[in-house]
């Protein structure tokens, strides 16, 4: 699987006012989540959660089978000097912690089944390695994962983002594995290729070297959050009545911000009165 995610990572960075190292961290996680979600069925949803002791505090991303993804970090202003390779030190802002993956199905249509959850400790906090380690340990799939975000100092500063995930099928022979390893090592950086206009299939061609492959599917990807004013109203209508009255009398309204997309919803006094009288629909 391969993905070019420049626009959606730029949107995430803009929505959350991310500092550069955090933009790299969240961008890599959004891309990895989409790649992992590419095999989902129509009503499935996949959540990746990193809980760690670094400045960033944690990363949460969620993707569905339609190529839609959303996500946020605890601390958008985490920062670290460049690492010894002259790159954003994502591992330093992430720190040590755990990597969780949750598969859910049917949630949005009320056909809720028990979620499946897997977890592994973080390997390096560099994200791609952490996805690969999760796949190996929790799903027993040896994989190569590359995730990259390239930033420019000016706005819009996400100039390229994308990645790829190669999973070994059971019974893949040694020669195939070493061919892929060789071509992956020789491959130009994915973000450089994306800046030159590469599409996902071009990334796969470079990664797979001499191996022939067939493209099974292609779909658009986007940053998408299903939150809305109506959902906020219905959430507030379930709050305890005394608290609603205090919102109305003391705060003269309510303000709610969605973690996932940082959209702020303001409900004025009239809207709150409407909700309390039970006729907000």
Residues that bind Zn ion (CB under 5 A): 225, 227, 258, 260-261, 263
- Smallest gap from residue 78 Cβ to Zn ion (A): 21
- Smallest gap from residue 61 Cβ to Zn ion (A): 13
Instruction: Decide whether 135 or 261 has the Cβ nearer to Zn ion.
Output: 261
Instruction: Decide whether 27 or 200 has the Cβ nearer to Zn ion.
Output: 27
Instruction: Decide whether 127 or 225 has the Cβ nearer to Zn ion.
Output: 225
- 3-state SS, residue 263: coil
- Smallest gap from residue 106 Cβ to Zn ion (A): 21
- Smallest gap from residue 224 Cβ to Zn ion (A): 9
Instruction: Decide whether 29 or 191 has the Cβ nearer to Zn ion.
Output: 29
Instruction: Decide whether 1 or 26 has the Cβ nearer to Zn ion.
Output: 26
The residues with which 47 forms a beta bridge, in sequence order, are 62, 102
Q: How far apart are CA 174 and CA 128, in angstroms?
A: 23
Burial class (CB in 10 A: 0-12, 13-18, 19+), 269: middle
End-to-end CA distance of the chain: 43
Instruction: Decide whether 34 or 225 has the Cβ nearer to Zn ion.
Output: 225
Instruction: Decide whether 263 or 273 has the Cβ nearer to Zn ion.
Output: 263
- Smallest gap from residue 27 Cβ to Zn ion (A): 18
CA 121 to each of CA 43, 95, 100, 118: distance values in angstroms, whole numbers, following the listed order: 28, 11, 9, 11
Instruction: Mention every residue, 6+ apart, whose C-beta is less than 8 A from residue 164.
Output: 1, 2, 3, 35, 144, 145, 146, 190, 200, 203, 204, 207
- Smallest gap from residue 85 Cβ to Zn ion (A): 35
Instruction: Mention every residue, 6+ apart, whose C-beta is less than 8 A from residue 155.
Output: none
Phi, psi values for residue 117, rounded to 5°: -130, 130
- Smallest gap from residue 231 Cβ to Zn ion (A): 9
Burial class (CB in 10 A: 0-12, 13-18, 19+), 71: buried
């Amino acid at each position: 699987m391969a993905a070019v995610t420049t626009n959606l990572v730029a949107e995430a960075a803009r929505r959350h006012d991310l500092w550069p190292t955090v933009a790299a961290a969240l961008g890599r996680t959004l891309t990895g989540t989409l790649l992992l979600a590419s095999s989902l069925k129509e009503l499935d949803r996949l959540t990746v959660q990193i809980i760690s002791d670094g400045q960033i505090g944690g990363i949460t991303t969620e993707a569905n089978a339609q190529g839609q993804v959303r996500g946020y970090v605890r601390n958008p202003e985490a920062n670290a000097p460049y690492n010894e390779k002259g790159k954003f030190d994502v591992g330093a802002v992430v720190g040590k912690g755990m990597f969780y993956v949750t598969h859910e199905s049917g949630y949005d249509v009320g056909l809720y089944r028990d979620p499946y959850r897997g977890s592994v400790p973080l390997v390096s906090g560099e994200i791609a390695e952490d996805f690969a380690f999760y796949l190996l340990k929790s799903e027993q799939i040896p994989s190569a994962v590359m995730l990259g975000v390239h930033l420019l100092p000016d706005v819009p500063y996400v100039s390229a983002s994308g990645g790829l995930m190669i999973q070994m099928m059971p019974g893949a022979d040694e020669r195939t594995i070493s061919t892929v390893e060789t071509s992956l090592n020789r491959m130009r950086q994915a973000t450089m290729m994306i800046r030159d206009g590469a599409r996902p299939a071009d990334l796969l061609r470079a990664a797979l070297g001499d191996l022939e492959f067939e493209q099974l599917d292609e779909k658009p990807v986007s940053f998408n959050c299903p939150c809305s004013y109506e959902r906020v109203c219905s959430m507030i209508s379930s709050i305890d009545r005394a608290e609603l009255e205090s919102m109305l009398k003391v705060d003269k309204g309510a303000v709610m911000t969605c973690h996932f997309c940082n959209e702020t919803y303001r409900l004025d006094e009239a809207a709150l009165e409407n909700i309390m009288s039970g006729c907000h629909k």
